[in-house]
Amino acid sequence: MRVAVDAHHHLWTLTGRNYPWIRERIDAPGMRAIARDFDAAEFRQVLARHGVERSVLVQGEPTVAETDEMLAIARQHGFIAGVVGWIDLEASDAVPEVARRAGDPLFKGLRLWLLRNADPMWILRETQTEGLKAVENTGLCVDALLRPQHVGNLLTALDRHPALRVVVCHGAKPVPTEWTPSDADFQDWARGMKALARRGCFMKLSGIMTESGPDWRPADVKPYVDVILDAFGPERTMWGSDWPVINRAGDYAGWLEAIEALTADLPVPEKARLFGGTAAEFYRLDQPASSFASA
């Protein structure tokens, strides 16, 4: 199946940067495999090997500096069709900053790190309200990085901000190494996925391989893929590699081949949505976000 858009990948330069989720967890399984620089030239070769046409570059560090760097890289490399960066929504200048970023045709959205914030109620703070309203009033979207225990707070945030366009990263990071489909944790996760789908969220079919550990097999991720596709459908599900994080538990080819095999029975139009059409539509890859801003 031709992949039109890889909906989730990273690039980073570790020298002079924090990336604490790498540096502070260097002894975690597979982490040393990604503890180096990964640049656009290397990723372009990966895409070329697999015939992937375009990509969405997603932030890996919540800083303005990295966001500016990603946008500069995207302007130099045409295969990067959009950037998901970072904005401090609690800053005093959050509203004008959202408007400024929305005016950049390559800036498609921002990522909210629910799972890496020490306060589980972070997304519900009053100090976030004006920033989230500003995001609602532009064409920008939100990538939500969370675990199953954060689903309830995200749903509450969506009650407060019903126009917020949200895609959940990595299937909300289930734990295939610890769960089986008969476990209560799996069932709770599945209910959370259905609740997010009912609220109009989109989902990234990415990252689940990494959560499955280095000895994963396609059969290990199949129950999660089935729940996601049943809840969101291909029209709201997008495939992403999560490169280079994927190298912690395998490689680009292995994840792509697994999802191609697990979705082999889908009709061709639905595969086209999963492997590019949904991402192109959600991220508005061929139009600037500001053209969709509310009156």
Q: Say if pTM beats, i.e. exceeds, 0.75.
A: yes
Domain 5-285, architecture per CATH:
Alpha-Beta Barrel (3.20)
Tokens of 200: 């109009």
pLDDT digits (tens, 9 = 90+) for 201-244: 999 999 999 988 888 999 999 999 999 999 999 999 999 999 99
| 21 neighbors 27 (Cβ within 8 angstroms) | no
**Confidence (pLDDT) at 222:** 96
pLDDT tens across 100-127, in order?
999 999 999 999 998 877 677 889 999 9
How crowded is residue 197: how many other Cβ atoms within 10 Å of its Cβ?
A: 20
Q: Are 240 and 202 in contact (CB under 8 A)?
A: no
Rounded CA separation 16/63 (Å): 13
pLDDT band at 289 (very low <50, low <70, confident <90, very high): low
For residues 12 and 148, what is the distance between their CA atoms, to the nearest angstrom? 27
Long-range CB contacts (within 8 A, 24+) of 262-266:
262/218, 262/221, 262/222, 262/225, 263/225, 263/229, 266/229, 266/234
Residue with tokens 């540096």: 23
Determine the 3-state secondary structure of 81 from DSSP: strand
Q: What's the pLDDT score for residue 290?
A: 53
Q: Which two tokens stand for residue 247?
A: 């190298």
> DSSP class of residue 275?
I
Residues in the chain: 295
Task: Give the start-to-end residue ranges of the domains of the chain.
Answer: 5-285
Residue 119 CB: number of other CB atoms within 10 A?
9
What is the chain's mean pLDDT, rounded? Answer: 94
Residue 259 vs residue 29, higher pLDDT: 259
